[in-house]
């Protein structure tokens, strides 16, 4: 079975790469997690077929229900932050999670959510800045949760994720703190020098508006507290299926937070990193089962992929960057 998996993957890869019309980097990003799963199964001598045959149906159902519930909860938060209807926030979040499998970071899921917001009449500067604010809560809440729970079952490899979590918290707080502290709809001296550059000048107004939008949201105690609470709740709900395999709520949360922090590493689908991180917590067979279910659940948002027009994205970007 493992040999068949390798042969099929190799043939698919050759077929795609032979097609000149296909974005080869995109194809590699899509196939990378599949290849890593195959390599991981070879290292630990696991038959790929057993990954599926040994899945507990109750665990699978609970897993997908928890994932969708988590999306519903965080979509409520997103709708409050951006000021859009709940369904649009849900669609944006579901689709953005799928995009994150291919393009991690701000140019992936954050931009995907912003584009969907723009389609609903939100200005592109406001849409992208508030999409980043959503990520501020996503990243910092999961990073802090991981840093709290990792000490219940720490291993040497987790030091990489600890540093990743700490680095993200520090960078995000520095960045958002800078925006909050300098947001008065005027450029400071450093910003004036930056936007004196010809090709950046058209972005000045959008930049100031974006800072203003973020500060306005951060200045609301109710919105800030609600956003943190809903984000924590969403991650706890997403962790619940792991109780079926760990019989410990703390360990369940640790498994989920470990996986989510691994996704912060700028590699498509966190291929390789997520498998290694989970190996320190659960048996290899369960690692592959969790990995497959995570990839499948995150892929659900691709049902909306035909609604996103590349030409429409270019049009909206040109509204901000008028010299293009």
Residue pLDDT, tens place only, 286-320: 988 998 898 899 889 888 877 665 455 455 555 55
| Percent of the chain scoring above 70 in pLDDT | 77
User: What string of DSSP letters covers 237-295?
Assistant: HHHGGGHHHHS-HHHHHHHHHHHHHHTTSSSGGGTTHHHHHHHTTS-HHHHHHHHHHHH
Domain ranges of the chain: 55-320
Has residue 111 got a pLDDT over 50? yes
pLDDT greater than 70 at residue 13: no
pLDDT of residue 31: 75
Its sign, for the CA torsion 197, 201, 206, 208, is positive
Q: If pLDDT is split at 50, 70 and 90, which confidence band does 26 have? A: low
Q: What is the mean pLDDT of residues 74-94?
A: 96
270: left (phi over 0), alpha (psi -120 to 50) or beta: left
Q: The pTM is what?
A: 0.84
198 pLDDT band (50/70/90 cuts)?
Answer: low
Average pLDDT, the chain: 81
């Amino acid at each position: 079975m493992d040999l068949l998996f390798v042969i099929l993957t190799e043939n698919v890869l050759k077929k795609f790469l032979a097609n000149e019309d296909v974005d080869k980097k995109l194809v590699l990003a899509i196939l990378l997690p599949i290849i890593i799963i195959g390599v991981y199964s070879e290292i630990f001598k696991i038959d790929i077929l057993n990954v599926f045959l040994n899945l507990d149906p109750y665990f699978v159902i609970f897993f997908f229900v928890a994932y969708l519930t988590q999306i519903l909860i965080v979509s409520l938060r997103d709708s409050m932050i951006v000021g859009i209807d709940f369904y649009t926030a849900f669609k944006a979040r579901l689709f953005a999670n799928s995009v994150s499998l291919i393009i991690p970071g701000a140019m992936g899921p954050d931009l995907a959510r912003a584009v969907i917001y723009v389609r609903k009449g939100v200005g592109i500067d406001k849409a992208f800045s508030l999409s980043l604010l959503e990520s501020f809560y996503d990243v910092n809440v999961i990073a802090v949760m991981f840093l709290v729970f990792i000490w219940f079952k720490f291993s040497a490899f987790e030091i990489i994720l600890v540093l990743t979590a700490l680095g993200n918290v520090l960078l995000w707080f520095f960045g958002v703190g800078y925006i909050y502290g300098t947001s008065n709809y005027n450029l400071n001296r450093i910003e004036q020098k930056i936007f004196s550059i010809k090709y950046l000048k058209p972005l000045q107004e959008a930049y100031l508006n974006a800072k203003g939008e973020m500060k306005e949201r951060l200045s609301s105690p109710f919105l800030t507290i609600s956003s943190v609470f809903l984000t924590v709740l969403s991650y706890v709900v997403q962790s619940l299926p792991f109780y079926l395999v760990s019989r410990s709520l703390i360990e369940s949360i640790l498994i989920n937070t470990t996986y989510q922090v691994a996704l912060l590493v700028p590699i498509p689908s966190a291929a390789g990193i997520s498998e290694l991180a989970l190996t320190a917590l659960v048996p290899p067979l369960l690692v592959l089962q969790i990995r497959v279910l995570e990839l499948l659940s995150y892929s659900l948002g691709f049902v909306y992929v035909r609604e996103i027009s590349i030409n429409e994205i270019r049009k909206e970007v040109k509204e901000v960057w008028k010299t293009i």
